[in-house]
Each structure stands twice: as C-alpha cells, then as structure tokens.
C-alpha cells in the first residue's frame, strides 16, 4: 500500500517567478486530496500530470490569498473535466462565507460542493483526516492524514483457536462469522499491531504546545519555514510564522521520521543558505521544491525522481 504526496508550490505571501504558492496534493487508492490552492496551482497540477478530475477533497488551512486565490479557477476547470461527483471542502471557521463569495462568480457547477467547517476529524477513502487549531493571524488548521494498517495475520493463533481456514480471509478483513453457534472474530487470528502511514502538514502558525503531540511519529512532516535566518525571529513572532529552527524543534519533539520545509518568504531567494539552522536540531530535514514528490509506503519511504 502506498500514498503519493506532491508539493505543488512552496512559496508564501506572494508568487515569484521561481516559486509557486502553497499547495500539496495527496494521491491514495485512486483518489486525491488537495491541501490549499494558491495561485498557479492549476499550472502545477498540469506539470505534475496526475490529473484533477479525481480531486475529491480540498483542505484549506486558512483563507489568506496565498492559500486560496487559485481555488475559483480550479473549481471551474474541474467542472470542465465532466466531473459530477461531489467535492468536499474542509476549512476553519468562516468556510461557508468564503465559498458563498466564490460561488458568486461560479453560479453553476455540475457537481455539489459539500462543506465541512472546522471538523476535528473525518474519514475519507480509508484515511483519517484530523485537524489542529493553530496560532496565526486568522483561524487556521493543521492537518493530519493517517492510514491504519491491519495487524499481522497469525497462523498459529488461528490454528490454536480452531478457526476454519475457509473464513480466515473474511476475518482478516475485519468481519465476524458465526458457524454452528460459534462466533469467530478477527482477534482470533490477528497478532501484532503494525505501523501504518502518517502525514502531518503544519503551516502559517507560531509553534504551540499542541503541535508535537499532533504530529507525533509522523512518517513525513511538512512544515512551514517562512524565515530561514534565526535573526528573523522577531518577524516570525510579529507575523505568526516560524523560522527553520523553530520548525526543527517541533519535528524533534514530535519524533517524526522526516521533515520537509516549505512556505518560504519571497524575500528568501535561496532557502539552502539557512538549512543548517534546521539540521543542527533535526538532521533529517529537507527543503521543499515545487514538484517534489514523496511516496510513503508501509514499512518505509522512497523518493520519486
């Protein structure tokens, strides 16, 4: 089982010629979920080549333009793809007002927009999407995406419990079976728990105490790095963003496997100049780039070139 993640854009505040604005795309089990939709998102999607007809869920972290202004155009283009299935849009408080404004210029769409305002969690495509309230200049959500993995099948346990072989597969899928008055349950054949896949995305916030627990044990942590220079800490505090070092401290506290920095200030032409500020704290830190793809799978990860 595998989940693909693409950083469509790694810029913050405003677009520059070398960097698209914030957006992340997740592809799993034939469906896709988009997180934020800054300007140029459609262009980034075209360059990626995964299509856009199968974007079923759009998660908005907040409603600043660098995360939102690409949404009206994207919704319009999706309508041209002959999609008729509903699209779910998730966001913090104020979502209904935002979508009402967008619908004023998109009075007709051939598909329904289902709104989910400020949820704590929801299920999508066998994936749990959870949210965390952040500390930004407007209501803002962090997002977690988790795919559970069923426990390992234990042949010896199944045999010791006298479970008929013909129902092993049904029990593995989570069902229970009654045969001649005997109830067979999944617990009778399943053994050790196995780690699933967890992805966390935190952007546009100050570090807050709830983040490390929210991102705990993530395979991949995508985090804003608005400011690379430690000397910009006052800017980060005033604008409610983070420095590279602050992001790295969160990654370390959350015991994540890997962190990718994104949402770079337009004034930071070369984020690589400041990467060591994060590496000193959390060595498995990488800089995001437009179009970067990660493939996460049960038991490991790899880079798609």
- Cβ neighbours of residue 23 under 8 Å, at least 6 residues apart? 7, 8, 9, 34, 35, 36, 37, 38, 41, 44, 70
Answer for the pair 57, 34: CB distance below 8 angstroms, yes or no.
yes
Helices of type H across 174-240: 211-214, 233-239
- Provide the residue count of the chain: 305
* 66, 204, 232, 290: the active-site residue: 66
How far is 247 from 249, CA to CA, in rounded Å?
Answer: 5
Distances in whole angstroms, Cα of residue 91 to Cα of each of 39, 74, 107, 113, 284: 18, 17, 21, 13, 30
The token pair that represents 26 in the structure block: 């997740």
How far is 216 from 220, CA to CA, in rounded Å?
Answer: 10
Sheet (strand 23-28) strand order: 113-117, 87-91, 55-59, 31-35, 23-28, 2-9, 292-297, 300-303
66 as an active site residue: the answer is: yes
Which residue(s) pair with 130 in the sheet? 121, 144
How far is 13 from 218, CA to CA, in rounded Å?
Answer: 27
- Cβ neighbours of residue 141 under 8 Å, at least 6 residues apart? 59, 60, 61, 62, 90, 91, 92, 118, 131, 132, 133, 134
The token pair that represents 65 in the structure block: 């333009």
Report, as residue numbers or ranges, the catalytic residues: 66
């Amino acid at each position: 089982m595998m989940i693909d993640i693409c950083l469509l854009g790694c810029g913050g505040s405003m677009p520059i010629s070398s960097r698209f604005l914030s957006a992340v795309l997740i592809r799993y089990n034939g469906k896709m979920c988009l997180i934020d939709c800054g300007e140029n998102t459609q262009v980034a999607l075209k360059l990626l080549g995964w299509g856009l007809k199968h974007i079923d869920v759009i998660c908005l972290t907040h409603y600043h333009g660098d995360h939102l202004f690409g949404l009206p155009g994207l919704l319009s283009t999706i309508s041209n793809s002959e999609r008729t299935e509903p699209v779910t849009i998730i966001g913090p408080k104020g979502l209904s007002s935002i979508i009402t404004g967008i619908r004023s210029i998109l009075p007709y769409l051939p598909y329904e927009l289902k709104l989910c305002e400020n949820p704590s969690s929801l299920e999508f495509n066998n994936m749990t999407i959870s949210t965390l309230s952040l500390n930004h200049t407007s209501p803002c959500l962090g997002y977690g995406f988790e795919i559970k993995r069923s426990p390992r099948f234990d042949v010896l346990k199944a045999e010791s419990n006298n479970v008929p072989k013909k129902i092993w597969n049904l029990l593995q899928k989570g069902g229970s079976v009654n045969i001649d008055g005997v109830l067979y349950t999944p617990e009778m054949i399943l053994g050790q728990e196995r780690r699933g896949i967890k992805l966390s995305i935190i952007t546009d916030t100050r570090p807050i105490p709830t983040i490390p627990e929210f991102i705990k044990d993530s395979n991949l942590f995508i985090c804003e790095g608005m400011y690379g220079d430690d000397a910009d800490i006052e800017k980060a505090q005033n604008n409610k963003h983070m420095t590279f070092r602050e992001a790295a401290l969160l990654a370390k506290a959350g015991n994540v496997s890997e962190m990718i920095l994104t949402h770079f200030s337009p004034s930071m032409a070369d984020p690589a100049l400041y990467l060591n500020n994060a590496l000193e704290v959390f060595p498995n830190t990488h800089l995001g780039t437009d179009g970067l793809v990660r493939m996460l799978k049960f038991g490991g990860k790899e880079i798609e070139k």
